[in-house]
Amino acid sequence: MPLCVAPMMDWTDRNCRYFHRLLSRHTLLYTEMVTTGAVIHGDRERLLGYEPAEHPVALQLGGSEPAALAESARIGQEWGYDEINLNCGCPSDRVQSGRFGACLMAEPDLVARLVGAMREAVSIPVTVKSRIAIDDLDEWPTLEDFVRKVSAAGCTRFIVHARKAWLQGLSPKENRDVPPLRYELVYRLKSEFPHLDISINGGIKTMDAAADHLKQVDGVMMGRAVYENPYLLAEADRRFFGAQEAPPERHAVVEAMLPYVERRMRQGAPLGAITRHMLGLFQGLPGARAWRRHLSENAHKSGAGPDVLVAALAKVRRSPEADVAA
């Protein structure tokens, strides 16, 4: 898979993914991380529900117990997800306390057992997202040992955030920026494990940068860059998936969201929970500020509905250079 959008807590929910799917028909989308306890015991419609149009879509799981992960993977497959991904990269304290996320990089034998249990439970791909190492562990030896042992359990696709994670001393936000990027280690991983599908993640902000990485690895995962400027995804299908059709226009994307907004609001979703993912659609264009302001100021008002989006779009169209924004 040449391009995918990273799982991002509080961001890549079903509303975000539906919006992103209107921009790119083929980019692989990921859920937020869902813990095994939530999958097994929680409200599955709220946690796992999605629109059929979101495919291809992958479910990211957090956990460290083979039986629980196997059961959660089986549930994910029953819900129709195209891939199950194990989180071995998140450095937050809450995740560490549950013995999953990046701390699992110190236990590759356990991760191999987890992957093996999930693969026995499902017929869809089981993949792993990791860092290059954690804390004081040496980067290349840690990454090589981790991938070698986990791939022996049958995992053939790894998404590697090309930074070390510091579980003590850095916040999750700092862990996204402070540790240096070591893209060359991910390239080396691909060269030494040519039979594996290796995707690279971390600090990739443009489609040109993604194209450069694809000369070395099989796939690119982008996160904050496409969330903050989602229209970047509009060029993905022609550039990376061989599509011939023209990219969707921004205005058309907004109009295509209106029936979805109506449907989701009938299901109880507040308007602001949907429009918050759309604030960056006109990033860098005339009218972008008016678009953001109108949504931010009006989406949370009592009685707000799709008409708020229509009015925000009208403000963009009244911009002196509205034809550019289209």
pLDDT tens string, the chain, 326 residues long: the values are 999 999 999 999 999 999 999 999 999 999 999 999 999 999 999 999 999 999 999 999 999 999 999 999 999 999 999 999 999 998 876 655 567 899 999 999 999 999 999 999 999 999 999 999 999 999 999 999 999 999 999 999 999 999 999 887 777 777 777 789 999 999 999 999 999 999 999 999 999 999 999 999 999 999 999 999 999 999 999 999 999 999 999 999 999 999 999 999 999 999 999 999 999 999 999 999 999 999 999 999 999 999 999 999 999 988 654 444 44
Q: How far apart are CA 8 and CA 194, in angstroms?
A: 28
Global pTM reads: 0.94
Cα–Cα dist 162/157, whole Å: 15
Contacts of 111 (CB under 8 A, 6+ apart): 86, 88, 104, 105, 128, 146, 149, 150, 153
Spatial neighbors of 242 by CB under 8 A, at least 6 apart, are: none
Phi first, then psi: give them for residue 314, nearest 5 degrees. Answer: -65, -35
What residues contact 314, with CB distance under 8 A and at least 6 apart? none
Any idea which residues carry the catalytic annotation? Answer: 90
Residues of each domain in the chain carrying CATH 1.20.120.1460: 250-325
CATH class of 3-238: alpha beta
For the record, the structure tokens of 241 come out as 């998936």
All CATH 3.20.20.70 domain ranges of the chain, comma separated, are 3-238
Determine the number of helices (DSSP H) and then strands (DSSP E) in the chain: 17, 10
Top CATH class, 250-325: mainly alpha
Q: What is the longest distance spanned by two Cα atoms in the chain? A: 60
